[in-house]
């Protein structure tokens, strides 16, 4: 065969690191490089097993499968469209797979592969990646690798960037903390001379895209990507080094709780009404009693907390016990003030806090030791079905931002004057909130609901 490849594709094919990422701009020949590499590997190592993945089968069929049928010689290769398996004459196998949901990874639970390949890696969650690379195993002597290709953007953008792009300069093999050797090989449209010659207008079409898409797809910029909900987040503007919080500043705690993840943020307000996230507690698999203790223990005894904010779902009563999570928290010494669960208004309130004024100042600062909220907030994606909301996937990054959203919507409400209180008929849920509240929180609840009749 006479196969023409670019210099960057050759670097990808010859890379020997355990985990290889080939990517950056659109049009760099990433998917083609994957298939050429898969073909060469299959022929070099008889009876080898490879898995190549896209997020959905539709994407798989319209790209990788279609190109492989035109590239792989029919004399040595057959494809079974029923089970999506390619077989070579020397006994090597290439499985074409997809993982549309997190649970789809379990269909590979008992599988073993010499090489796993991800096409458009940023379309996958970190959980999917870590689970599937555990399928790379076997007693044979074939090289064991995970080779991926991608553009910036997608639900996995931030974890892919953190795993491959940030730790070392491009084309530099580095050893990660788990002992794996990784390398990022960038690719841009100008690296693909074949595309530039056959379709010279493709680059012009990319230049006409909106800025975030243009920077990601044309230049391979990993700092700006399409689909990012909080594109205004800027590490330099929105974070600061920790400093002692003055005692007179009003302080809040705000939480998002589930057994899968507790996220609690401590937020202080200065005299100019700027908000500072100065402490965080993020931990998984905590029962309510343990979560309460950890939050209380993390709060110094001399630190006065004006209110501890929590989402309305914590007041939902269990069908089995008839008791709410908020009530159980109160029995463990933690009393909540209910916030709103209006997601659209809440996220817009966060955006208002992130917005820069004409001098570049913002109303929200995050201490740089609060690493989870700093990591997760810019990772949130726009929900494709509801563009005013954030996507709920990957779920593990949503907890700390949800806690911040609860604070933002609470803090953005207009203050009510003591003299304008109305009298209303309270519901049982309102009374439950009241009885579970501290004295200071009871004052707030009367402002919120009105004096009870």
Question: pLDDT tens digits, residue range 51-104?
Answer: 999 999 999 988 899 999 999 999 999 999 999 999 999 999 999 999 988 889
Query: Using an 8 Å Cβ cutoff, are 366 and 353 in contact?
Result: no
DSSP of 192-217, one letter per residue?
Answer: -HHHHHH-TTHHHHHHTS-HHHHHHH
Instruction: Identify any residues that bridge with 185 across adjacent strands, giving them in sequence order.
Output: 22
pLDDT of residue 416: 38
Q: Check whether 378 has a pLDDT greater than 50.
A: yes
Query: Using an 8 Å Cβ cutoff, are 334 and 328 in contact?
Result: no
pLDDT of residue 437: 77
pLDDT of residue 386: 85
Instruction: Give the lowest-confidence range in 134-143, 222-231, 347-356, 382-391.
Output: 222-231
> What number is the average pLDDT over the span 16-20?
96
pLDDT of residue 184: 94
pLDDT tens-digit profile of 175-224?
999 999 999 998 866 554 544 455 555 545 555 555 555 555 555 567 66
Q: Do you find a cis peptide bond into 100, omega within 30 degrees of 0?
A: no
pLDDT confidence band for 423 (50 / 70 / 90): low
Q: Check whether 414 has a pLDDT greater than 50.
A: no
pLDDT of residue 369: 94
> What number is the average pLDDT over the span 355-374?
90
pLDDT of residue 379: 82
Instruction: Give the lowest-confidence range in 192-206, 217-231, 306-320, 382-396.
Output: 192-206
Instruction: Identify any residues that bridge with 133 across adjacent strands, giving them in sequence order.
Output: none
> What number is the average pLDDT over the span 105-117?
94
Instruction: Give the lowest-confidence range in 86-90, 114-118, 169-173, 385-389.
Output: 385-389
Q: Check whether 388 has a pLDDT greater than 80.
A: yes
Average pLDDT, the chain: 86
pLDDT of residue 4: 83
CA–CA distance, 142 with 30 (Å, rounded to integer): 23
- Most confidently predicted of 1-5, 55-59, 438-442: 55-59
Query: Using an 8 Å Cβ cutoff, are 33 and 13 in contact?
Result: yes
Instruction: Give the lowest-confidence range in 161-165, 184-188, 405-409.
Output: 184-188
CA–CA distance, 374 with 388 (Å, rounded to integer): 21
pLDDT confidence band for 5 (50 / 70 / 90): confident
pTM score > 0.85 for this model? no
Q: Dig out the tokens for 388 from the structure.
A: 């005013």
Q: Check whether 241 has a pLDDT greater than 60.
A: yes
Query: Using an 8 Å Cβ cutoff, are 352 and 412 in contact?
Result: yes
Q: Check whether 415 has a pLDDT greater than 50.
A: no
pLDDT of residue 80: 95
Q: Dig out the tokens for 118 from the structure.
A: 């991800």
């Amino acid at each position: 065969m006479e196969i023409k490849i670019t210099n960057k594709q050759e670097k990808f094919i010859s890379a020997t690191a355990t985990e290889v990422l080939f990517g950056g701009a659109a049009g760099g020949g990433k998917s083609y490089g994957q298939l050429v590499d898969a073909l060469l590997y299959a022929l070099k190592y008889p009876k080898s097993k490879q898995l190549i993945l896209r997020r959905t089968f539709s994407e798989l069929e319209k790209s990788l499968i279609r190109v492989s049928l035109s590239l792989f010689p029919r004399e040595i290769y057959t494809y079974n469209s029923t089970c999506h398996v390619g077989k070579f004459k020397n006994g090597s196998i290439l499985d074409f797979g997809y993982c549309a949901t997190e649970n789809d990874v379990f269909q590979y639970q008992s599988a073993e592969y010499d090489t796993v390949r991800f096409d458009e890696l940023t379309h996958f969650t970190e959980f999917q990646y870590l689970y599937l690379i555990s399928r790379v195993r076997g007693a044979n002597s074939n090289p064991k690798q995970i080779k991926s290709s991608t553009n910036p953007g997608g639900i996995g953008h931030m974890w892919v960037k953190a795993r491959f792009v940030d730790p070392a300069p491009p084309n530099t093999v580095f050893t990660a903390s788990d002992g794996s050797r990784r390398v990022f090989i960038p690719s841009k449209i100008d690296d693909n001379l074949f595309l530039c010659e056959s379709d010279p207008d493709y680059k012009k079409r990319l230049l006409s895209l909106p800025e975030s898409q243009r920077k990601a797809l044309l230049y391979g910029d990993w700092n700006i990507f399409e689909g990012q909900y909080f594109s205004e987040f800027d590490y330099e503007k929105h974070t600061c080094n920790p400093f002692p919080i003055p005692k007179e500043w009003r302080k809040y705690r705000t939480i998002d709780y589930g057994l899968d993840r507790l996220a609690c943020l401590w937020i202080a307000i200065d005299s100019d009404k700027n908000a500072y996230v100065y402490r965080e507690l993020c931990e998984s698999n905590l029962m309510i009693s343990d979560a309460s203790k950890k939050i209380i223990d993390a709060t110094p005894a001399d630190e006065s907390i004006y209110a501890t904010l929590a989402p309305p779902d914590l007041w939902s009563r269990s069908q089995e016990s008839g008791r709410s999570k908020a009530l159980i928290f109160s029995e463990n010494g933690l009393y909540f003030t209910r916030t709103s669960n209006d997601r659209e208004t809440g996220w817009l309130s966060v955006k208002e806090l992130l917005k820069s004024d004409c001098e570049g100042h913002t109303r929200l600062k995050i201490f740089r030791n609060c690493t989870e909220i700093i990591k997760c907030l810019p990772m949130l994606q726009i929900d494709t079905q509801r563009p005013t909301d954030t996507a709920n996937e990957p779920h593990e990054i949503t907890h700390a931002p949800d806690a911040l959203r609860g604070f933002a919507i609470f803090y953005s409400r207009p203050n009510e004057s003591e003299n304008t209180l109305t009298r209303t008929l309270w519901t049982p849920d309102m009374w439950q909130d009241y009885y579970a509240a501290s004295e200071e929180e009871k004052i707030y609840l009367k402002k919120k609901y009105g004096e009870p009749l």
